[in-house]
C-alpha cells in the first residue's frame, strides 16, 4: 500500500523541513522526485540523501513567485502525477505592524507561488491522465493566532484555492487537497527561537510545544506520511478536503 512506483512528483520547498521529509518519503516509496528550491545547497543535500538510499531525485532552482521561471521549470520536468505546494514563508506581525513590503512578499510566495505552480502543473498533469495536488495550508487559516496577520491571510487563501481547484478539475481526474499543520519542529522553528529568544530557547520551545493539546510539536515525517496517503491511489476517493494534523489544536483547545 501507499506505493508511488512510476509516479513523477514535484515538491516545492523540498530542501528543508516538511518539504524535505515529503521528498525523501516519496522517493522511498518509488516516485521520481523533482525538488523545486531557492536554496540549492539544501536541495542537493536532500538529493544526495535520496540517491544514497537508492531513490531518484532531481533539483531545480526556482523562485515560485516568478511565473516565467516556474513555467520554464515545469516544462523541463514534463509530464507528472503529483504536485506538493509546500514552499512558503512566515511573518510575525498584526495588521498595523505589518509593513506593505512584508505583506506583498508573503502573498507573492504563499499565494501567488501556489497559483503559479498549479498553473504550470495542470498541462503536465493532463499528460498523465490526472493526479494529485497537495497544498500546504495551516491551522492559522482556521484559528486566530496572535501576530500572524498576513501569514494567516495567505493560508486562508490557500484553503480557498484548494476548494476551487478540486471543483474545477474533478472531471479531469485531478484531485486537490490541503494539509493544515500546527507547529512542526523544523529548522525554521529552531532559528526563530534562537533569533527571537536568545538564551531562552528551551523555555520557549517547551511553551510552544504545550500549545498543542497532545503536548508536543509535530514531526516533519508525520506530515509527510499524511501527504503520502493523500497522493497515493488508496486516497483516490478524496478531493476538496483539508486535513488537520495539529495534535488537537483546533478541536480540543478551549
**Per-residue pLDDT tens over the stretch 50-83:** 999 999 999 999 999 999 999 999 999 999 999 9
Active site residue 151: yes
pLDDT of residue 192: 83
Position 2 in a domain: no
Catalytic residue from among 115, 119, 151, 169 = 151
Q: Within this chain, do residues 93 and 173 fall inside the same structural domain, yes or no?
A: yes
Position 111 in a domain: yes
Give, for 18, the enclosing helix (H) or strand (E).
Answer: helix 17-28
Q: Length of the chain in residues, anyone?
A: 254
Q: Within this chain, do residues 68 and 163 fall inside the same structural domain, yes or no?
A: yes
Q: What is the pLDDT of residues 171-224, one digit of tens each?
A: 999 999 999 999 999 988 898 888 889 999 999 999 999 999 999 999 999 999
Q: Within this chain, do residues 199 and 155 fall inside the same structural domain, yes or no?
A: no
Looking at the structure of the chain, the number of domains it has is 2
pTM, two decimals, is 0.96
Position 99 in a domain: yes
Query: How does DSSP assign 45-112, residue by residue?
Result: HHHHHHHHTT-EEEEEE--TT-HHHHHHHHHHH-S-SEEEE-------B-TTTS-HHHHHHHHIIIII
Beta-bridge partner residues of 12: 36
C-alpha separations of 224 from 97, 130, 150, 172, 216 in Å: 34, 21, 25, 26, 17
Position 1 in a domain: no
List own/partner pairs for 38-46 with CB under 8 A and 24 or more apart: 38/62, 38/63, 39/15, 40/15, 41/15, 42/15, 42/16, 43/14, 43/15, 45/15, 46/14, 46/15, 46/20
Domain range for 202: 187-217
Q: Within this chain, do residues 62 and 163 fall inside the same structural domain, yes or no?
A: yes
CA-based angle 125:90:154, to the nearest 5? 55
Q: What is the pLDDT of residues 73-130, one digit of tens each?
A: 999 999 999 999 999 999 999 999 999 999 999 999 999 999 999 999 999 999 999 9
Confidence of residue 254 (pLDDT cuts 50, 70, 90): low
CA 217 – CA 208 distance, rounded (Å): 8
Q: Within this chain, do residues 170 and 128 fall inside the same structural domain, yes or no?
A: yes
C-alpha cell of residue 228 = 503520502
Amino acid at each position: 500500500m501507499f506505493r508511488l512506483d512510476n509516479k513523477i512528483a514535484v515538491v516545492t520547498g523540498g530542501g528543508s523541513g516538511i518539504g524535505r521529509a515529503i521528498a525523501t518519503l516519496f522517493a522511498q516509496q518509488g516516485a521520481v522526485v523533482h525538488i523545486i528550491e531557492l536554496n540549492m545547497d539544501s536541495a542537493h543535500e536532500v538529493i544526495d540523501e535520496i540517491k544514497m538510499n537508492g531513490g531518484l531525485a532531481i533539483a531545480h532552482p526556482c523562485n515560485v513567485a516568478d511565473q516565467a521561471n516556474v513555467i520554464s521549470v515545469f516544462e523541463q520536468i514534463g509530464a507528472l502525477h503529483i504536485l506538493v505546494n509546500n514552499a512558503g514563508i512566515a511573518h510575525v506581525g498584526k495588521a498595523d505592524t505589518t509593513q506593505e513590503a512584508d505583506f506583498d512578499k508573503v502573498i507573492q510566495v504563499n499565494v501567488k507561488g501556489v497559483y503559479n505552480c498549479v498553473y504550470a502543473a495542470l498541462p503536465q498533469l493532463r499528460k498523465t491522465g490526472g493526479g494529485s495536488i497537495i497544498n500546504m495550508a495551516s491551522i492559522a487559516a482556521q484559528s486566530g493566532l496572535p501576530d500572524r496577520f498576513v501569514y494567516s491571510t495567505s493560508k486562508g487563501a490557500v484553503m480557498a484555492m484548494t476548494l476551487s481547484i478540486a471543483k474545477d478539475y474533478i472531471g479531469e481526474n485531478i484531485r486537490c487537497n490541503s494539509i493544515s499543520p500546527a507547529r512542526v519542529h523544523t529548522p525554521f522553528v529552531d532559528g526563530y527561537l534562537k533569533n527571537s529568544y536568545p538564551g531562552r530557547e528551551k523555555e520557549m520551545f517547551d511553551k510552544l510545544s504545550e500549545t498543542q493539546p497532545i503536548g508536543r510539536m509535530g514531526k516533519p515525517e508525520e506530515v509527510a506520511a499524511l501527504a503520502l496517503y493523500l497522493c497515493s491511489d488508496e486516497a483516490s476517493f478524496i478531493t476538496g478536503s483539508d486535513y488537520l494534523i495539529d495534535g488537537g489544536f483546533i478541536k480540543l483547545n478551549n
